[in-house]
Amino acid sequence: MKKVLPLVFAFLGWISGNVSAQQQPAPPDIVFGDLFVDVQMNKVFPDGKTFVDCVPKRDPKAIVADYAKMKKSAKKAKTEVDLKKFIEDNFEIPAAPNSDYKSDASEDVTMHIKKLWSVLKRPADKPVAGSSLLALPNPYIVPGGRFREIYYWDSYFTMLGLKESGENEMIENMIKNFAYLINTYGHIPNGARTYYLGRSQPPFFACMVQLLAEVKGDGVYTTYLPALEKEYQFFMEGADQLKPGEVHRRVVKLADGTILNRYWDDMETPRQESYREDFEVAQKSGRDIIEMYHHLRAGAESGIDFSSRWFADDASINTIQTTDYIAVDLNSLLYNLEKVLALSYKNMKSDNIKISSENTTKAAAYELKAEKRRKAIEKYCWNDKAGYYADYNFKLNKSEDNITLAAMYPLFFSLADRDRAAQTKTIVLNNLLKPGGLSTTMYKTGEQWDAPNGWAPLQWMAIQGLERYGFSEDARNVAHRWIKLNVNVYKRTGKLMEKYNVVDTHLDAGGGEYPGQDGFGWTNGVLLKLINVYGMPSE
């Protein structure tokens, strides 16, 4: 089946994709039904995220009922409903992203970042009936621009700068929020919105706990052990029941019994915040609609939305196949989570000999899991022919040839051997190093996670991966290129951006589903950390 009305699978996708749907708040497409579809498909707002962030002024059921009556009357009278006016009358529309905040270009960029923390800070939330926002109990930092809520993997890189700024209380507040999300919803969603509940993002929670432990000591591991373990269970759900060759959600069991992970999203509909875009892509692809929605949503869970990394032809989103890949970055992160879980159990102190023995046993079990995963990454995510780490297409039984910065994750987590680290370094730098830093991929597709764009989080992962194998001069070179680009754009505009053009450093970054955003949480965090480690480059 290739064509289907947008609303047909909305309810079915929510129920079939979420075993605990009754316990979870419904996303806007379920709450508002036809009204949601009409607003998104008619592009009432230029950005599809606007409507899903609107807050109803009254009972959503009453709004839906009134809209149905109005639509029926309009059809009878052969007129059109004024959708924009109906929304304005019944919803509080979020303010357009404020792009006016900027500093005098003469102000030091590090001072600009420290001032920005207060601009990006949000207080603990108060629940609002009908809002898609998942209310959080502690203050937090948002990325900025259209991103009005906390985001999962963004926050780790933001925390790097918060730590440099001495904002340790904010780091802990954000980690508490993530633990709250895990305990409430079973995982950390992509962002704190109901429409993100079908998916998570790259699991950096363990890295956040490690960062906090650097400040407060190893007792942090005990505090967050339950949340860490629950997140692990989320990503590994179903692993024990799989037979060789089977998959379940994020888990893949290969023919030899090896268990590794892929990105996934439970829901079977277009992403609510990009509803029209996903619907049109799926229709244009000529492929199975539900399969396309899973691939698109899984791409969003990866954080790399979107990129030739996920495309069968390295060129077109119509060929996206995200869920077919054992992702090298995801599995490296889960290796780290297993190592942190082992460490957490080792650090648990108890006067009870039996409990102490149980903890030692659990620590050993997680160490074994981590070692098995390390060997599996080496076996399946190492492209022996090309000499670098890559995603593994488990449906085609082959390693991918697309060189991406995901190759640096095994180096960041020190799971690669020295020779493979050196080979990966050479391939990545020879193909992706540009005047402004590292390009995300080799290909220019018009997608935002492809050339010529560079992104702060992947610069950090690559730079630290280089450092951990002693390639310090290469690390400094990349860091200085990135710092110089960020600072030059800041001097021109008074702003720090979400992404940058690393190929032509005089041009803005582009591509993707929305305009470039400024603010910007993870750029600020990585830049401040890099400046403190490597200093400002000479002109």
β-bridge mates for residue 382, sequence order: 389
Annotated catalytic residue, options 154, 324, 329, 498: 498
- In the 8-state DSSP scheme, what is residue 22? G
Residue 44 burial (CB count, 10 A): 16
Distance CA 372, CA 329 (A): 16
Contact partners, residue 180, CB within 8 Å, separation at least 6: 136, 137, 138
Residue 440 burial (CB count, 10 A): 26
Contact 310, 321 (CB under 8 A): yes
Of 170, 181, 166, 263, the residue nearest 224 (C-alpha)? 181
How many Cα atoms within 13 Å fall on the side-chain side of residue 322? 25
DSSP characters over 156-215: HHHHHHHHHTT-HHHHHHHHHHHHHHHHHHSS--SBSBGGGTT---S--HHHHHHHHHHH
SS3 279: helix
Of 82, 340, 101, 116, the residue nearest 210 (C-alpha)? 340
Annotation marks residue 305 as catalytic: yes
Residue with tokens 């980690």: 175
Annotated catalytic residue, options 167, 305, 329, 474: 305
Tokens of 291: 């399969």
- In the 8-state DSSP scheme, what is residue 240? G
Query: Catalytic site residues?
Result: 305, 498
